[in-house]
Chains A and B, each alone.
Chain A
Amino acid sequence: MAAESSSLAIASARTARQKQLVLIVSRVWAWVFLALLIAFFTASVFSTSGGSVNFLTLRNSQNILMAITPVLLMGLGQTFVIIAAGIDLSVGWVMGLASVISALVIADLVAQGMAETPAIVLGFVIGVIAAAIPGFINGVIIAKLRIPSFIVTLGMSFIARGISLLLSGGNVVIGQPPGVRAFGNESLLYLISGEGGGLYFLQRPNVTGEALQRLDRILPWPVVVTAIVVAIALFVLHKTQFGRHTYAIGGNREAALRAGVPVDRHIIMLYTLSGITCGIAGILHTARFNGGSSIAGDPLMLPSIAAVIIGGVSMFGGHGSVAGTVIGALIIAVLTTGLVMLNVQPFWQFIVVGIVVILAVLIDQARDLIIGRMESQG
């Protein structure tokens, strides 16, 4: 008897350990995968270029961060929406709308003689508001008229597309003052490596020639802005009542409603927030490329949803995290940058990202299956 119960105890301790292991693996696989990707590209870029190109440089890391900012921003709003069991398919064209409107407003205000800085600030604020409005309308229709988010936001995507193309005439909106480009391309820190170099804060060092080659931008302003939005999203989703209600609505909308959660108002706020993050992505695009483009966001919409899925947000709602979406966006950016540096035909990027998306969901399902099986045995 004693021997039997002690062997049972050992067995249950073993299942508990195994369960722990499965949970840890499923939680950290994305980080491990990202680390492996970086290691792989560092080694393979180094060897295929005969040692002349290094993947793991400061400059390249900043390029990767710049590349993911719009995808990540759209993904952050999407994370909240999908956790609440919805989806926002309008993000791409809403981002384009914000880019066009901000560029139009800035160009117009400067042409009318307004000083540069207030014109830029006003243009950016109006750009973000212009993106919040379709988000708000999405939310109202989804919450009050009970039309599936998939359909409402698909429709809104076309509407935003039409409006931004009408406003821009299908062209890039130009005529931006120099401050716009500076905001999109200058950075918080500058580093000149090697002799006579140093670290420069806020002010770009005035160098030319060979020293300019050694100049690196650290934390460009779009990356700083995105990092601030990530920090806010982390805080709101994981530490506040708003975040808790987002999970509750995704887990069981009826339960949330009966518990007194203001479900309709919350859903409206979620889609408005999604619009706002698209708006920020839109104005950053205007700044980076020195002009407003309606087609800026369209090719980024599916990567942004892919980032959310790779990050472990369940499409059924109720599960996911901000950190997961950040990792998902980083994986996509490292993959695409690395493949380009390996001189792989760019079209392969799509195939690889597609495989990773499906793999990510398979890993999540395998985890639930394995743990479920352990529990039914134990």
Chain B
Amino acid sequence: MEPMLSVRNLVKRFGGLVAVNRVSLDVYPGEVVGLVGDNAAGKSTLIKCVSGVYHAEEGEIYFEGRRVSFAAPIEARRAGIETIYQDLALAGNLDVPANIFLGREVKKRYLGGLIRTLDEDHMLRESQTVLNSLEIRFPSLTVPIDKLSGGQRQAVAIARALYWKAKFIIMDEPTNNLGVVEQRKVLELIRRLREQGVPIILISHTLPDVFAVTDRIVVMHRGRKVTEKRTAETNSQEIVQYMVGALDDTRAQLQEA
């Protein structure tokens, strides 16, 4: 099977610092890949190269078999790569449909398109449908997002990505700052996205969460990918060893060579 996303020998430097050092990574359709590592391991930099925030100096990125080079996040999103950031990027003063449709509002046209008003009913119905498909229920969709819990907001961000036919989702610490029950609900959502065939890269510090939903785990340490394991064939002790630099597959290969 062809990988949906393929990163080849990517290098990103900030001045003298090599933030991402010749990293390669494949993600296949319907797969959830965990990207873990200590702070400053290069996880966020790597995904920002994929999502068009940064431009890598060396290496290639292939998406759906085609070589891509996104100049801006909006280009990555147009190609179908949706990134859900830690801070969610929702407008807290707007309600759920307004956020799901932000920047892509549905309009009713009058006088041959001369006057265009927001089609609130349509946006509300569509929001309801996409939230139902994720089995998310809110008491009311027409309250400002600020009034919702962290987990509910995360659900809105995920629903937005799904509604706009994201082909590939990157999640940056989606369970951070959430209560236990909410964390479980978000993990549930990730599983449901996977059932719908959407591949996901999950960046997280919380190893139990990573083990709960991923198929594969990629560990980064100081800018390099130090290992890649099937989730079923490893355990958190081993992953922690890689995260702190005690184990390193690339070093072993180097020594063998």
Contact = CB atoms under 8 A, between A and B. Distances in A.
Contact of A256 (B85, B91, B117): B91
Given A258-B73, A260-B74, A244 B90 contact: no
A240 B89 contact: no
Contacts of A261: 102-103
A247 interface: yes
Interface residues of B, number: 21
A319 B91 CA distance: 12
B99 to A, nearest CB: 8
B92 interface: yes
B135 to A, nearest CB: 25
Interface string B11-52: 000000000000000000000000000000000000000000
B105 A241 contact: yes
B93 A247 contact: yes
Interface string B94-118: 1000100011110100000000111
A289 B117 CA distance: 38
Interface string A254-267: 11101111000000
B140 to A, nearest CB: 12
Interface string B52-91: 0000000000000000000001100100000001011111
Contacts of A324: none
Contacts of A241: 105, 107, 116, 118
A248 interface: yes
A184 B85 CA distance: 55
B116 A240 contact: yes
B89 A255 contact: yes
A8 to B, nearest CB: 17
B116 A252 contact: no
Nearest to B145: A251
Interface string A223-251: 00000000000000001110011011011
Contacts of A250: 93
A260 B73 CA distance: 9
The 6 A-B residue pairs with the shortest CB-CB distance, nearest first, are A251-B93, A259-B103, A260-B103, A318-B93, A251-B91, A259-B102
Interface of B: 73-74, 77, 85, 87-94, 98, 102-105, 107, 116-118
30 contacts: A240-B118, A241-B105, A241-B107, A241-B116, A241-B118, A244-B98, A244-B105, A247-B93, A247-B94, A248-B94, A251-B91, A251-B92, A252-B89, A252-B90, A252-B93, A254-B87, A254-B89, A255-B90, A255-B102, A256-B102, A258-B73, A258-B85, A259-B89, A259-B102, A259-B104, A260-B74, A260-B77, A261-B103, A318-B91, A318-B92
Interface of A: 239-241, 244-245, 247-248, 250-252, 254-256, 258-261, 318-319
